[in-house]
Amino acid sequence: MDRLFLDTNYFIDIAEQRNQASLDDFDNFSLTISPLSVHVLCYSYHVRMPDKKVENLVNEFILVPFDSALAFKALSGPTKDFEDNVQLHSAITADCDFFLTTDKQLLTMGYFGAMRICSHL
């Protein structure tokens, strides 16, 4: 089973049921996110804890540990945006095959290591 990392924008689309995004679209994948994506969702939408909807959604994913080693990798690149770097390095740490994003700047990279960066599968 291929490993798929969802960038924050895709994760939020699913959480907020935007753009007809659904977990059902990814039945054939092992799904991974960064804990930072959960933070961005909760902060942006002022989600108060505990929240069963968010908890149930997050339980569908493998979360990559966000530790000091990952933070230091993100500080070194490959982009100028720390959050993007956290996402990319999280996906590599989880040995993901695909990185799903709508971020146009990230899409221009095409690949990060052996992982393919794409907007759809």
For the stretch 61-101, pLDDT in tens is 999 999 999 999 999 999 999 999 999 999 999 999 999 99
- Report domain extents, the chain: 2-118
Q: What is the pTM of this model?
A: 0.95
Nearest alpha carbon to residue 1 among 24, 31, 22, 23 = 31
Average pLDDT over residues 22-37: 94
Average pLDDT over residues 47-54: 97
Lowest mean pLDDT among 22-26, 53-57, 61-65, 96-100: 22-26
* Under 8 Å between Cβ of 27 and 120: no
Q: How far apart are alpha carbons 27 and 83 in whole angstroms?
A: 27
2-118 has which CATH code?
A: 3.40.50.1010
Q: Which segments of the chain does DSSP mark as H helices, in order?
A: 8-15, 35-44, 52-58, 68-75, 82-93, 104-107
